[in-house]
Amino acid sequence: MLKIVVCVSGGGTNLQAILDAIDSGKITNTEVLAVISNNVGAKALERAEAHGIPGILMTPKAYPDRECFNKAFTEKMCELSPDLVVLAGFLVKIPEEMVAKFSNRIVNIHPSLIPSFCGVGYYGLKVHEKVLERGAKVTGATVHFVNEGMDEGPIIAQKAVEVLQDDTPEVLQRRVMEQAEWILLPQAIDDIANNRLVVENGRVKRSSQAL
Catalytic amino acids?
110
Backbone φ and ψ for 99, nearest 5 degrees, come out as -60, -40
How far does the chain reach from its first CA to its final CA, in angstroms?
A: 21
Of all residues in the shown chain, the one whose CB is closest to ligand GRF is 89
Evaluate whether 62 touches 39 at the Cβ level (below 8 Å): no
Least separation in angstroms between residue 17's CB and ligand GRF is: 8
Least separation in angstroms between residue 90's CB and ligand GRF is: 7
Determine whether 42 is exposed, middle or buried from the number of CB atoms within 10 Å of its CB (0-12, 13-18, 19+). buried
Amino acid in position 166: D
Least separation in angstroms between residue 123's CB and ligand GRF is: 6
CA 70/CA 154 separation, integer angstroms:
23
Q: Where are the alpha helices (DSSP H) in the chain?
A: 13-24, 43-50, 66-80, 96-101, 125-134, 169-176, 182-193
CA 159/CA 176 separation, integer angstroms:
9
Give the DSSP letter of residue 181.
I
Nearer Cβ to ligand GRF, position 34 or 88?
Answer: 88
Nearer Cβ to ligand GRF, position 71 or 174?
Answer: 174
Residue 135: how many CB atoms within 10 A of its CB? 7
Nearer Cβ to ligand GRF, position 177 or 205?
Answer: 177
Nearer Cβ to ligand GRF, position 126 or 206?
Answer: 126
Q: Where on the chain is the footprint of ligand GRF (CB under 6 A)?
A: 8, 10-14, 44, 88-89, 109-111, 123-124, 177, 181
Least separation in angstroms between residue 40's CB and ligand GRF is: 15
